[in-house]
C-alpha cells in the first residue's frame, strides 16, 4: 500500500506547480493574446469583431512611438553589447594576471547586486545638467565637454546605455571567466612553446573555443534588453519627449498611462514574439551544447 | 523583475555547467605586462566605483554645498540630515512618511514570497528529478519557456486574478506574484541539482518503504544545504531589487522600497533635494550590498559545489 501511495504522491506534489503554470503562465498568455484581438479600452471586452481583428496591430505599426520604441530597442541592444566586449576584456585580464582576482571580481560585480532603480538614480545624478559631471568638468576648464546626455533627445539613449553597461559588465565578466577557466591549461603552454603571439592566441584560438559562452551572453543580453524597464523609469521616464521609449515601457504606458487594454495587449504580444525570435536559437544552442558534451563524455 | 534577474538566476545554472575546478598556477614574477594589466584593471575598477562614491559623498552633503556644483568633492560638513529626511519624511506620491514605510513593506513582502517560492519549486524539482513522472520532460520544457516570458504579456491577467482573489494592492498580492514568477526558474535549478543524486540511493530508500515525503524530509532536505543558500541569496536580492511587480501590484502605502525611491526621484514639483535622493538610493541599496559583500564568497562556494556535482 505504501508503495502504491508513493506512486501517486509525486503526481499530487506536482499539482500546485502545474496549476500555477497552467493558470498564471499559459492561461494568462492566451488571455492577453485574446484581448489583443478585441476593442478593449479601459475595461476588458470579450467580443471580437472578426472583420477587423487585427485593428490593434495595425494601429500599433502605424504608431510613431512604437516605431521609435523598436529603434531604441535595437540601439540599446547594440550599445549594451559593449558590456559583453568589456566583460571579456576584463575576464581575460583577470584570468592572465591572477593577482587581485577576488578583489577585482568583487568590484566589477557589485553593480549587479543593487536595484536598477538605484543604478538609474546614481547615473541620473551624474548626468545632471546643473550640478553633475558636466559642471565639474567645465569648472576645471574642459568647457567643450557635453555630459548632460539625458537632457537632449539625441543623446538620452546613450546615457541609458552607459548605465546598463556599467551595471551588467560584471555579469558577463563572470560568465566569461567561467568559460576561460574551463579551457584546458595545456593550450596556454602549447601556445607559449609555439611562440604564438598573444593577439593571435586570443582571436584565433580562445575566442573560437568560447563561442558557446559568447552566444549565451548575446542571448541573455537580448532577453535582458527587451525587459529593460526599471532603468528607463529611474533615469528618464521615457523622456525627453518619448525619446527613450522601449517596448517594455511603451506597453506599460499604454496600459496604465493611457488605459488602453487592447492596444497594450497587442504590444505585449509583439514583445513575446521578439522574445521568441531570440529564444529559439537559445533552445537550439542548448540542445547542441548538450549533444556535444554527451559526445565528449563518451 | 529587473531585466537581468532572469539572467542573474541563469548565472547560477550557467556557471555550474561551465566552471571547472580551479587549480592555482605557480606564483609568477612581476613583469612589465602584469603591471600594465593591473594598472588597467585598477582604472576600470575606479570607473566602477565612481557612481557609488558620488552617491555616498552627495548623501552626506548639505544642499548649499551641492549647489556649488563640485560633484566629486568631499562634504565640507558631514551631515546626516539627508539620511534622516530620506528615511523619515521623504514623499512618495502624496504621503510623506519616508522610505521606512517602503523598507518594512519590502521586508514583509520578502518573507512570504521566499517561503512559498522555495517550498513550491523545491518539491516540484524533487518530484520531477527523482520520481518517475511520465510527462516530466514536457513539463520541464514548458517551465523553461515560462522562465523567459516577458512580464508584460501576463501582467493584465495577473492583475485581474489577484483582484478576484482580493489581494490586489496588498503586500500579500505582491508576495504571491513574486512567488509565482520565480517558480519556473527555481524549479529548473532545483531539478538540475537533484537529478544527479544516484538512482541507487532512491531505489534503496523506496525499498526501505520510504514514502515520497519521508524521503524528501529525511534524505533530500539534508542534502540541499548548498543549493538552498545559493537560491536564498538570489531570491532575496531579486525580490528586494524588484520594481515592476511592486509598482504594478502594490497599492498606495503597500509599495516596496524601490517604488518609494522611484517616486521620490521622479517627483517634479518643488526643488529637488539631491542629497535626500542619494541617501534614499543608498538606503535601498544597502541590504543587497551587505549580502553581496558578506556572503558573496559563500554564494560562489555554493555555485561551485553544485558545479562539481554536475
Rounded-to-integer distance, Cα B21 and Cα B44, Å: 27
Of A21, A112, A230, the CB nearest to B244: A230
Look at B54 and A237 and tell me if their CB atoms are within 8 Å.
no
Contacts of B52 in chain A (CB under 8 A): 110, 122
End-to-end CA separation in angstroms for chain A: 41
pLDDT in tens, B141-178: 888 888 888 898 998 899 989 888 888 888 898 999 99
Of all residues in chain A, what percent carry a pLDDT higher than 70? 94
CATH class of B5-27+98-309: mainly alpha
Facing residues of B169 across strands?
B250
Domains present along chain A, CATH in parentheses:
56-297 (1.10.3720.10)
Look at B211 and A179 and tell me if their CB atoms are within 8 Å.
no
Contacts of A272 in chain B (CB under 8 A): 149-150, 153
In angstroms, the separation between the Cα of residue A205 and the nearest Cα of chain B is: 18
Look at B184 and A25 and tell me if their CB atoms are within 8 Å.
yes
Q: Please tell me the predicted confidence (pLDDT) of residue A63.
A: 85
pLDDT in tens, A269-288: 999 999 888 878 767 776 77
Look at B240 and A268 and tell me if their CB atoms are within 8 Å.
no
**What is A25-46 written as a DSSP string?**
IIIHHHHHHHHTTS--SSS---
Of B133, B152, B183, the CB nearest to A268: B152
Rounded-to-integer distance, Cα A145 and Cα A135, Å: 9
**Contact with chain A for residue B96, Cβ under 8 A:** no
CB B124 within 8 A of CB B212: no
End-to-end CA separation in angstroms for chain B: 28
Enumerate the domain spans of chain B: 5-27+98-309, 31-79
In angstroms, the separation between the Cα of residue B77 and the nearest Cα of chain A is: 18
ipTM for this model: 0.84
CB B174 within 8 A of CB B246: yes
- pLDDT (average), residues A222-244: 86
pTM of the model: 0.84
Contacts of A170 in chain B (CB under 8 A): 48
**What is B129-198 written as a DSSP string?**
HHS--TTHHHHHHHHHHHTT--THHHHHHHHHHHHHTT-TBSHHHHHHHHHHHHHHHHHHHHHHHHTTS-
Dihedral Cα B245, B246, B247, B252, nearest 10 deg: 140
In angstroms, the separation between the Cα of residue B196 and the nearest Cα of chain A is: 15
The answer on pLDDT for A206 being more than 80 is: yes
Place of cell 533530500: B220
Burial of B227 (0-12, 13-18, 19+ CB in 10 A): buried
Burial of B239 (0-12, 13-18, 19+ CB in 10 A): buried
Which of B20, B51, B90, B109 is best to mutate for the A interface (most A CBs within 10 A)? Answer: B51
CA–CA distance from A191 to each of A10, A88, A206 (Å)? 53, 20, 11
pLDDT in tens, B267-289: 766 677 888 888 889 999 999 88
Q: Which three cell numbers stand for residue B18?
A: 561551465
CB A251 within 8 A of CB A264: yes
Q: Please tell me the predicted confidence (pLDDT) of residue B72.
A: 82
Where chain B has pLDDT below 70, the residues are 1-29, 209, 268-270, 297-310
Q: Closest residue of A to B15, CA-based?
A: A178
pLDDT in tens, A74-119: 999 999 999 999 999 998 888 887 778 888 888 888 888 888 999 9
B187 CB-side CA count, 13 A: 33
Amino acid at each position: 500500500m505504501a508503495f502504491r501511495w508513493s506512486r501517486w504522491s509525486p503526481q499530487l506534489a506536482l499539482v500546485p506547480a502545474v496549476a500555477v503554470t497552467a493558470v498564471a503562465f499559459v492561461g494568462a498568455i492566451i488571455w492577453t493574446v485574446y484581448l489583443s484581438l478585441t476593442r478593449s479600452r479601459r475595461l476588458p471586452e470579450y467580443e471580437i469583431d472578426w472583420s477587423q481583428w487585427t485593428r490593434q496591430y495595425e494601429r500599433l505599426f502605424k504608431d510613431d512611438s512604437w516605431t521609435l520604441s523598436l529603434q531604441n530597442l535595437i540601439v540599446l541592444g547594440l550599445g549594451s553589447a559593449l558590456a559583453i566586449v568589456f566583460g571579456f576584456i576584463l575576464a581575460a585580464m583577470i584570468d592572465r594576471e591572477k593577482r587581485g582576482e577576488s578583489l577585482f571580481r568583487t568590484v566589477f560585480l557589485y553593480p549587479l547586486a543593487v536595484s536598477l532603480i538605484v543604478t538609474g538614480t546614481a547615473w541620473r545624478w551624474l548626468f545632471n545638467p546643473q550640478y553633475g559631471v558636466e559642471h565639474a568638468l567645465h569648472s576645471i576648464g574642459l568647457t567643450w565637454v557635453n555630459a548632460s546626455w539625458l537632457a537632449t533627445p539625441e543623446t538620452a539613449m546613450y546615457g541609458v546605455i552607459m548605465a546598463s553597461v556599467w551595471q551588467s559588465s560584471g555579469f558577463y565578466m563572470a560568465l566569461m571567466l567561467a568559460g576561460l577557466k574551463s579551457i584546458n591549461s595545456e593550450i596556454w603552454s602549447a601556445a607559449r612553446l609555439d611562440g604564438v603571439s598573444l593577439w593571435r592566441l586570443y582571436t584565433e584560438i580562445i575566442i573560437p573555443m568560447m563561442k558557446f559562452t559568447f552566444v549565451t551572453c548575446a542571448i541573455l543580453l537580448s532577453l535582458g534588453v527587451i525587459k529593460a524597464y526599471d532603468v528607463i523609469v529611474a533615469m528618464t521616464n521615457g523622456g525627453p519627449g518619448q525619446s527613450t521609449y522601449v517596448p517594455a515601457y511603451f506597453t506599460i504606458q499604454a496600459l496604465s498611462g493611457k488605459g488602453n487594454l487592447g492596444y497594450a495587449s497587442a504590444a505585449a504580444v509583439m514583445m513575446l514574439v521578439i522574445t521568441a525570435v531570440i529564444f529559439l536559437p537559445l533552445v537550439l544552442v542548448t540542445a547542441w551544447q548538450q549533444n556535444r558534451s554527451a559526445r565528449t563524455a563518451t | 523583475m529587473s531585466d537581468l534577474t532572469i539572467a542573474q538566476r541563469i548565472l547560477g545554472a550557467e556557471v555550474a555547467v561551465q566552471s571547472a575546478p580551479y587549480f592555482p598556477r605557480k606564483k609568477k614574477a612581476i613583469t612589465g605586462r602584469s603591471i600594465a594589466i593591473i594598472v588597467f584593471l585598477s582604472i576600470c575598477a575606479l570607473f566602477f566605483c565612481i557612481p557609488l562614491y558620488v552617491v555616498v559623498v552627495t548623501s552626506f552633503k548639505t544642499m548649499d554645498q551641492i549647489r556649488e556644483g563640485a560633484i566629486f568633492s568631499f562634504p565640507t560638513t558631514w551631515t546626516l540630515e539627508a539620511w534622516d529626511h530620506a528615511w523619515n519624511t521623504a514623499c512618495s506620491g502624496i504621503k510623506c512618511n519616508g522610505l521606512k514605510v517602503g523598507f518594512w513593506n519590502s521586508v514583509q513582502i520578502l518573507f512570504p514570497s521566499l517561503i512559498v517560492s522555495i517550498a513550491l519549486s523545491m518539491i516540484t524539482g524533487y518530484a520531477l528529478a527523482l520520481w518517475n513522472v511520465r510527462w516530466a520532460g514536457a513539463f520541464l520544457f514548458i517551465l523553461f519557456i515560462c522562465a523567459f516570458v516577458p512580464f508584460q504579456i501576463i501582467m493584465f491577467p495577473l492583475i485581474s486574478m489577484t483582484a478576484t482573489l482580493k489581494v490586489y494592492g496588498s503586500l500579500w498580492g505582491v508576495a504571491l506574484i513574486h512567488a509565482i514568477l520565480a517558480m519556473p526558474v527555481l524549479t529548473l535549478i532545483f531539478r538540475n541539482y537533484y537529478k544527479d543524486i544516484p538512482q541507487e540511493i532512491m531505489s534503496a530508500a523506496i525499498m526501505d518503504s520510504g514514502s515520497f515525503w519521508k524521503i524528501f524530509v529525511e534524505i533530500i532536505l539534508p542534502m540541499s544545504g548548498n543549493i538552498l543558500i545559493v537560491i536564498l541569496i538570489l531570491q532575496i536580492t531579486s525580490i528586494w531589487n524588484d520594481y515592476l511587480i511592486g509598482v504594478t501590484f502594490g497599492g498606495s502605502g503597500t509599495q516596496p522600497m524601490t517604488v518609494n525611491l522611484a517616486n521620490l526621484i521622479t517627483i517634479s514639483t518643488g526643488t529637488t533635494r539631491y542629497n535626500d535622493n542619494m541617501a534614499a538610493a543608498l538606503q535601498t541599496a544597502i541590504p543587497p550590498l551587505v549580502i553581496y559583500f558578506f556572503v558573496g564568497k559563500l554564494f560562489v562556494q555554493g555555485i561551485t559545489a553544485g558545479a562539481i556535482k554536475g
